[in-house]
Structures are given as structure tokens and as C-alpha cells.
Structure 1
Amino acid sequence: MLGKVIAGSTVIAGIILIIMLQTTNPSTVGPLGLLAVFFLLYVIVLGATTELLWIGSRLIQSIGRRFATKRPPGRLSLQRAYYFSSVLALGPIIALAMLSIGSFGFYEMVLIAIFLAVATLYVSRRSSR
């Protein structure tokens, strides 16, 4: 069920974003419209990242079974992949938002990477229970 919700929301967000980009321009849409664009981009990146993590963990598990003798790597559940994706999908959106206001440099990129590392560590500790 979670997979269908993620896939459906990703497709719907993509359709709404395409319609929004074709019918409006940034100068007339206002701040709420720009927030909607960033939110829709977040939903799209979230869906894509979730699928990549989930499928990637299955591939790593199948490859790991061939080489690991004692403890092969486990598969990442869809729910846990969604938890990690909710954090990781925020990185490109923050970078895009900072780039759009013209204040994206090496220092900001390092800060975003540190934020993602801490948030990923937090999610891994909280979701392992």
C-alpha cells in the first residue's frame, strides 16, 4: 500500500508541476506559488529516491549473497527506505533554493552535507528499533 501511495503521489506531483510551469511564470505566481513548486519538486525527488534506495538495496542484497559468507546484507524495507528518502530528498531541494537566491557556494554545500549526514544518522538510529 505504501508503494502505491508513493508512486501515485510522485506521478500526481509531476503532473501538477508540469501544469504549473506551463501556465504561470515566477513573477506572477507569488511566494505561495514558489513554495508549491519547491514542495512538488520535493515530492518528486522523494518518490524517486525511495525507489532508488529500495531497488538498490535489493540489488546489493543479491550481490552480497554471492560474496558474503558469514552475514549477507539485508534488504531495506520500503518503509525504512521512505524514512531515509524523506531526509535525503531534502538536500537537492535546499541546494536548489539556495542557488535560486544566489547564495550557494562551497561552504553552503558542506553545511547541507553535514545536515544530511546528521539527519541520516538520526533516522538510522530511530528506525532500527
Structure 2
Amino acid sequence: MDFVSSRVITADITRLVDFYERVTKVPATWGHKEFAEIRTGSGTLAIGSTNTVPLFAPGSAEPAANRTVILEFLVDDVDSVYEDLKEIVTDFVNEPTTMPWGNRALLFRDPDGNLVNFFTPVTPEAKEKFGR
């Protein structure tokens, strides 16, 4: 089995895709007007409109209701990225902070309120874990 992607459901797909294109600097691949993907070298963030939910199971997903998942992206220099994101992100949860497990992390919310973590490994153990 291979983990392929995480999917976010949104009521405003254009706004959310634009946000993720801007913060990741990765252009989206649109599979349909109701579905797009931000593909990175190690994973994919899929973004679907609320119109896709009934195709799976009506009422099974609700946009802007997440309070348990954090979408995480490995970046080369989280402090530098933080400075760039100040022009894009309006809801920072914290500034870059070194975590006990060796990553320097920046937590913010996307326009739908989903938590996003951009992080850089900074300790030798964390760098080794992520091949840095």
C-alpha cells in the first residue's frame, strides 16, 4: 500500500487552490473544475469542492470544519519562508519555533481554517530523519 495524498474539501476551490499555489510556489494541476492537486516530490495535496462530496457519500465531509489534522510541508529554511508568507498568510498560529523533536516549525491556518505546518529539521537527528 502507498499513501498518495490528503484531500481538503472547500466551498471555494478557486480561493483555496490559489492560496496553496502561492504558499507552496507549486502550480496546481486541475483534473476538473471541482478538483485540483498540488503535487510535490513526496506527496500530493488534493483540493476538492463541496460538489465532489456527494460522489463519495452525501454529507460525509464538511468544509472549514477541521480541528484535528495538520497539513505538513518540509521546507529548506522555515525562517526565510515565514518572511515570504507574511504577504500571503493572514492567520499565523505561531512564529518559527524549535520543537523538542528537532524541527523548527511554523504553524498557520489556510483560508478555510485548516492548520498548515511548514518545518525545517534543525537538529542532527531530525536532519538525518529527513535526509538533510
Classify the TM-score, shorter chain.
under 0.3
Using CA pairs under 8 Å that are at least 6 residues apart, name the structure with larger relative contact order, 1 or 2: 1
Greater share of residues in strand? 2
TM-score by length of 1: 0.24
TM-score by length of 2: 0.24
